Amino acid sequence: MCGNTMSSPVVIPAASKHSATVIFLHGLGDTGHGWAAAFASIKSPHIKYVCPTADAIPVSLNAGFRMPSWFDIESLSFDSKQDEAGIKASTEKLQQMVADEESAGIASNRIIIGGFSQGGAVALHSALTLAKPLAGVIGLSTWLPLHDQFPGAIKGNTNTPILQCHGTADPMVQFQFGEMTYQNLKAMNCRVEFKQYKGMSHSSCDEEMKDVQEFIDKHLPAV
């Protein structure tokens, strides 16, 4: 559901006066269309939702086949080699999207960034290496990439609310990775809430999307 560069995003425009934005990145091999549909079902009229699609790149995990991906992944083990250059390039792209919203008149503290799985990894990394305050961060079934570079790499948003959600039966990004990420974030004094969904695999569910909606409504109220 809703590369080192981004294709044209799927955008759900605000139905009334645009005063806030949600930018959400998909997971490996997906596009922004599915997540755009998910947000269309929980949208608020004053919020614009932006769901970009990553460019197709060769992915080592999938024998070098090209697919939409924010960065290369070699394996699903926690200590595998990470594509630092790709992670940082996608981080810069997401941070530029935040800057583009600011140029359009939306303050950074009226913007929530987030993502699912690989997209959530980019969102977490982007938030912590961004000096401007965000309204919130959403990480679904995800992890903190380049975790060994923190807390040294932090530039801001340790006091920004983070909603982290994970299924207990996730076979791809294992639940223990989610727990480790939560502990890492807490150690950096981040305002993180970790929600667990019993029996959920590497996917989303209605309960999780309800929690996402409540988080967005709380931190991006109409003004």
Task: List residues with catalytic annotation.
Answer: 117, 170, 202
Task: Give the number of residues written for the chain.
Answer: 223
DSSP 94-119: HHHHHHHHHHTT--GGGEEEEEETHH
Q: What stretch of H or E contains 180?
A: helix 175-187
Give yes or no for a contact between 9 and 39, defined as CB atoms under 8 angstroms apart.
no
Select from 128, 67, 61 the least CA-distant residue to 94.
Answer: 128
Give yes or no for a contact between 150 and 128, defined as CB atoms under 8 angstroms apart.
yes
Supply the DSSP symbol for 135.
S
Give yes or no for a contact between 175 and 142, defined as CB atoms under 8 angstroms apart.
no
- Could you give the dihedral angle defined by the CA atoms of residues 14, 18, 20 and 25, in that order, rounded to the nearest 10 degrees? 40
